[in-house]
Every structure is written in C-alpha cells, then in structure tokens.
Structure 1
Amino acid sequence: MKNNIYTIFRKEMARFFKDKRLVITTLLLPGIMIFIMYTFMGNMMKQQFGVADGYISEVYIKNLPATINSKLDKVGLSIETVDGDLEAEKKLVSEKEIDLLVNFPENFDEEVAEYKTGEGKAPQVEIFYNSAKTESSAAYSMFTDILSNYETELSNKFDVNADEKISYDLAAKEDMTGKMFGSMLPMLLMIFIWSGCVAVAPESIAGEKERGTIATLLVTPMSRQALALGKIFALSIIAFLSGVSSSIGTFASLPAMYQGMSGGGIDTAFYSGKDFALLFVVIISTTILMVALISVLSAFAKSVKESATIISPLMIVIMVISLLPMFSKGDTETPVTMFIIPLYNSVLCMNEIFKFSYSSINVIISVVVNIVFTGILVLVLTKMFDSEKVMFSK
C-alpha cells in the first residue's frame, strides 16, 4: 500500500512541477503580487494621508494675540499676519495655496480674561482649512490642539499625564504587534491556504474525471484508499507551498502597509521559534483538511468548471469563520469546546498564536481534530472511488 501511495504521490507532484506555467502562477506569482500590491498600497496611503517630513504649513492669522504667538514658536508653522475682510485669504485656502486661515477677535486676550463661564457669548476663534488637502487638515489639527491646551491652562485646577518624560501608555510593543497581527493575519492565511487548495485539488479529481484518466487509475491493482491518500498528500504539499508563498509576500509587505495606515512601525522579532513551529503545524493540518474537503466535493463534479461551482459556497464559510475572531470580546478566554470545530479551530489558534495568548493544549486539540476529520474525508473519498455511479456519471 505504501508503494501505491508513493506512486500516486509522485505522479501528482510530477504533473504539477513539470508544468512551468502552473508552478509560476501557483507558487511564485501569489507571493510576488501580494508583496507588490500591499507595499504599493502602504506607500500610497502614506503619501495620501501623511505629511512629508520637513513640511512647514503656511498659516495666515488675523489679530494674532501675544499669548498664542508665544506658543506658536514651538511648532513648525510658517506664520503670516493679515488684515482686511479675509475673502482673498479664504480663496487661497480653497485653492490649496495656503494651509490655514485663523481669525481671532480683535481684543482676544482681554475678552478671554473678562469672560466668565456661562455668562454671555464666549470669544470665538475662526479657523478656515481645506479638508481635501492633507497638509491643511494636519495644520488644522495642530492649531486646534494648541488652542485646546491654552483653554485648559486658563482654568487649570489639575493636570492629567503632564510629564512628557513619562510614557503613560503601558501597552508593550509586543502586545500592539500581537493585536494587529491577530486581527488580520488569520483571515489572510486562511484565504491563502484556500486559494492554494482550490488551485490544485479540483484539477486532480474533477479534471481526471473530465479527461477520462481517472478510469485508468481505478482499474490498476491498488486500493482506493492508497489512491485517495496519495492524491491528498501530494495536493496538500503543493497547496501548502502556495500558501507559504503568499504568506511570505504578506509578511514582507506588512511594515510598509502598517506604516502607511498608522505612521508607525511593527516588529516581528517578538515571535519565537516555538510560535512559528506551532503556526506551521496548524497551517499543515488546515491545508490537509481543506484539500480533503475540496477533493470530496470535486469528486461529485463531472468537470473542473462544475467543481468550481460546487465548492464556491465553501469559500463563503471560510471567509465568515475567518472574520469571527475580529469581533470577539477583548481578552475573553475561548472555551475549549470551540477548538473541536474543524477549520474554525485553526482560525482561533492562529489568532491566539499571533497575540501570544495561545495554549499548547488547544493547539494540539485543534491539530488532532483536523487530522481526524481529514481521515474521515479520506474514507469518504475512498468510498466515492469505489462507486461507479459517482466516478463515471454522465
């Protein structure tokens, strides 16, 4: 039986790797395209929503008070005082020629000193900006922060987090990295694994039926179980390599992607060899299970095209279960019973591994469950190979 399994395994591997176009499109292109796409998106977001280093916003101010002027010396703004009705300056803001126009009341400091909360109308500062220009929005945020801090100082009874030398956010960089990776990578990995499986499994089962070559295999003196195992092992390795290619492209592009979204950086050095080893085992068990599931569904189809139609609803299921951890409550402990649900347990394990909150027992349970269900699907596929009605239906 071992020789038969190896024969089928070698046949499937040869069929795949001898087709250079299939190797390129399945193993190489996914990782390269994902890296290029995500890196490009990150750079574009950085350019669109970020302000270039060294950029100095140009701000026009009318009736600039001395109290505010002293605070503007500490920020990177180019200040120019103006007079008049400000219509010309508003047009400059609208046309993106300048970033900000600020209009203070003529006797701002005196009015502020005399004003009592709840009595009459408070002095009003008008700030005109252009939200379609990133630099203008950034200057607006900076200026409103200055005014907000000044307003707080006027009636300052106590300070909150006032010492600039102290970091009051006690979240470790490790936790921040884990939170980000845990929210998005499980879904991406499941999609990559699924894409790799779909790229090879239907062609091996439904494709053989469509070409009529499955009949030749079925009349050879080998057990149907050896045929099923040989195909699933070979397809799992190919699908796994495809998923690895996509994953490498994703990991390589994440720093640029994250910097474009938040302006900060991420560090993957927090993950140990054990973390990656457990992730590897989970991905392997998930890939084998997906290949077995797709193979069984493909065996019902008469052609590769029909196979794609049959397995398409499964893609929706994969997407839904991949998104579920994103909506879970914070650090609530996941019940052990959730780890006996095939595929969903893989998503949970990936999420917990990336967040550094995994339990080795839960990982073991998930892997064992996936392998057991794979075994059941292999038996189902074996029975289907034995059925002439399924294999030779027209």
Structure 2
Amino acid sequence: MTAAPTIQAIPAGAWPGYLDCLDEADEYAAVEVATGLLDVGVPAERVLLDLVAPAQAEVGERWARNEWSVAQEHAATHISERVVAAVAAYANPRPTRGRIVVACMDGEWHALPPRLVAEVLRLRGWQVTFLGASVPAAHLVSYLHRHDAHAVALACALPMRLPYAHRMVEACRRVDVPVVVGGRGFGADGRWARRLGVAWAPDAPTAADLVADERALRRVPPADLAHLADDEYAGLVRRRGELIDEALADLRERHPSARDYTPNQLDSTVSDLGHIVDFLAAALYVDDGTLFTEFVDWLVEILTSRGVPAPVLGSTLEHYGRVLRDFPRAARFLVAAGSSVTAGGPGVR
C-alpha cells in the first residue's frame, strides 16, 4: 500500500504577495505567483479558492473603502481573470462527466466568482460551458435546447437581481434542467434562494458536491411567494422612473448643494436613487425587509467613505416613505432602514 500524497497548502506569504501584484497591476508577476504554487504541488483548486478568491474579495473591500478607484478595481479583476486562465491551462483537466452550464443572471456583471466555480467543476471532471456575465433568460434557454446539460449553475452577487434570478430559474426548469444558485445575492445563508425554491451552494466545493447529487439538486421546497398577490412589487416597478425623478427633485429642495452637482456627481446620485428603488423592490419580492436594511447599511458606508453625510440618505428614505405610504410592506421596510441610518447600525425587520 502506498502512502497518500501530501496536499501542499498555500504558503503564508503568497496571499499578500499576490495582493501586491494586483496593487501594482503586474499581471506577469501575479501569474508567476499562482503557477509557482502549482509547481510546488499546491492543487489548482486550492490556488483558485485560497489565493484568487480571497484576494478578489479584498479588491472589492478596497474599492468600498474608497482606497482604490474603479479603474484600479477593474485592472485587478482583469489580472485575476488572467490568473484563473493560467491555472486552468496548467491543470488542463479532461472531462469525464456530463455538461454543466455556468452563467451570471441577466444584468449581473460580476463574472469572476462564477468563473471560479466553473473551473472548480472542470477540475472535478465536469464538461463545463461558461457563458459569462449578464445572460438573458431567453438566450440561456435557447442554449439549453441545443446542448444537453446535466445542470445549470447561476450566480447572483446583488440581491436586487433576485426577481430576474427567479425568472431564469423557472425558465431552466421548464426545459427540465435542474438549477443550483450561489453568490451573495441570495443572502449569506442562502435564505432568499430558499424563498425562491431553488438549491443553493455557499461555495464552489459545495456546488460541485450538489450537482453530483441530482436527487438532492431537484429535492427543494417550492417557492414561497404568496405575498406577491398584494401587487406592491409590480406597482413599485411600474413607478420606478417616476420615483427616481421625484426623489432627485426632493433632494435638490432639501439639500441646495445638490443643485450644483457635476455631471458625474449627478449620474452617481441618480444611480444610487435607482438602486434604492431596486433593492426595495427585491425586498418586496422575497418579503424580507432585512434585504433592504442590509443594503442601506452598506450604502451608508460607501457614501460616508466618499464624503456624503448619512442624513442625505435618511432624507431620501423619508421621501420614498411618504410617496409610498399606500404600500404597507414597502413603508415598513423604509422605516426600518431609516431607523438604521439614524442609529448608525442594523435596523429591525
């Protein structure tokens, strides 16, 4: 009997060294760090999950803290994508199992996390088709009609995309292809995936285990969306443009400095006002006010790091609360989030 091979772990200095490469936008050095680990016996899966993934999470945190610009974040993400490609080419696995289709939700542009999932599945013997960012549901279904798939893995990083996620899941099921979902958009514990009645995996290894068990993949409770009968979600979506325009006018009235915003500042403000509506709509869709409050808490941190005082956001939430007073669930969610802004911490549902 031969001894089991020793699995080499990521050396302690590799991760900060890799981050330095991203900071310096040194693609070649970053690839050398990753392939150097492979050369000394670190499994490709561990390089992807213990080096590239946490480094990319730190990239996002540095952008959120306003330490890195959008350009720096994009450069670092591109380098990590090149590193993933280099690791995949080095490992060069051959498929021994069926096809898994991996894609981002329609409107979802964070493609690196699902790319990591795709490569882990490939390393475990699956034939993987990675469709990339923002795949329209109709195009995904058309692809599934042409190519037999064992399962579909869908990624969602932003909870505001949950209504679109549900439509994509249902579209896949109509062609009898089981679905597993992942990403922060479904909640840290997958609670919104359960509300939508779909299998959820917190990480790539769990997703790989789940797609290997088709019975578990299909054995999920049905969606729990009876609350949509009150039409609040549909009504809010119909009024989206009107709500944003009115909120911008109210902001200029309450905070005269907003009248002198540069075009870039105005674009960012309109985008934020739209995100508030979209996250509120998603909270209505899954009937969970914590979704909206968690977004507002995050937005406070982002705006504060960029010199925008929290009361500006608080006044916008008050405005939305007034104009949506005939939407009981939405009004309740807005009050809870507004209380969180005032208290400087998480609100209550």
TM-score between the two structures when normalised by the length of structure 1 = 0.25
Relative contact order higher in (CA < 8 Å, ≥ 6 apart) = 1
TM-score between the two structures when normalised by the length of structure 2 = 0.28
Compare CA radii of gyration and give the structure with the larger one. Answer: 1
